[in-house]
Amino acid sequence: DTAVSQTPKYLVTQMGNDKSIKCEQNLGHDTMYWYKQDSKKFLKIMFSYNNKELIINETVPNRFSPKSPDKAHLNLHINSLELGDSAVYFCASSQEAGAWTEAFFGQGTRLTVV
Amino acid sequence: DAKTTQPPSMDCAEGRAANLPCNHSTISGNEYVYWYRQIHSQGPQYIIHGLKNNETNEMASLIITEDRKSSTLILPHATLRDTAVYYCIVSKKAAGNKLTFGGGTRVLVKP
């Protein structure tokens, strides 16, 4: 069973389109995240949700809108896609308990905007 | 969160120990040291973490200096499948437990 699963794995779309990436975790975790890995391979956090509530929003353009229908799902919707949005997007989850935590990452969604 | 400094790359012979250094001289008392790795085209994978004491698990060992300003991840018997980018991250428990990834160390295990 895949712990954190993202769909689709690959997404090619034209500039100006609106697209969504879905993420689901079956670990029972309270917290979910979206990270972006750009062409230079730097991984940066975008959003974090805890029990469906937004707790981190790292200066991401408002074209990006996360949606958490329940604590097992965190979807990422992107409006008016731009060339610079091309990247690999990783979903992750962790359990908000104790003094430390292990984050589990999905396999990534490679978004290419043409 | 404290910043970390890692060498950009290193090679290791298959079957030998790989020692990956990390400097985190501005670490504060309540910050943990985490190590993750990212194998090509996959999501990052947790390896190990520590606060003050040395730690060992089935994947690796973590040695943290007494002043906590640096640490070393040890892969005891590197295999070709250990070829990956290894990230040293310092983070305290905070809302969302944000992990701030730096450039990491690209480790190439050679036969």
Q: Please state the rounded mean pLDDT for residues A74-78.
A: 96
Q: What pLDDT is stored for residue A59 in this prediction?
A: 78
Q: Is A66 on the interface with B (CB under 8 A)?
A: no
CB contact under 8 A, B100 and A41: no
Q: Which among A4, A90, A94 has the least Cβ separation from residue B97? A: A94
Higher confidence at residue B66 or residue A54?
Answer: B66
Give the pairing of strands A109-113 and A10-13. Answer: parallel
Contacts of A106 in chain B (CB under 8 A): 43
A31 and B44 within 8 Å at the Cβ level: the answer is no
User: What is the model's pLDDT at position A40?
Assistant: 82
- Whether the CB-CB separation of A22 and A75 falls below 8 Å is answered with yes
* A39-B100-A90 Cα angle (round to 5): 50
A100, pLDDT greater than 80? no
Residue ranges of chain B with per-residue pLDDT less than 50: 95
Residue B106, both tokens? 């690209």
Q: Residue B1 has what pLDDT?
A: 65
For chain B, the three-class secondary structure string (H helix, E strand, C coil) is CCCCECCCEEEEECCCCEEEEEECCCCCCCEEEEEEEECCCCCCEEEEEECCCCEECCCCEEEECCCCCEEEEEECCCCHHHCEEEEEEEEECCCCCCCCCCCCEEEEEEC
User: Which of A12-26, A40-54, A86-100, B28-42 shows the highest mean pLDDT?
Assistant: A12-26
pLDDT of residue A9: 96
Write down the pLDDT at residue A58: 81
Q: Which residues pair with B72 in a beta bridge?
A: B21, B63
Tokens representing residue A9 in the block: 């794995």
Q: With bands split at pLDDT 50, 70 and 90, how would you rate the model's confidence at A12?
A: very high
Nearest to B96 among A31, A98, A108 (CB): A31
In this prediction, residue B22 carries a pLDDT of 97
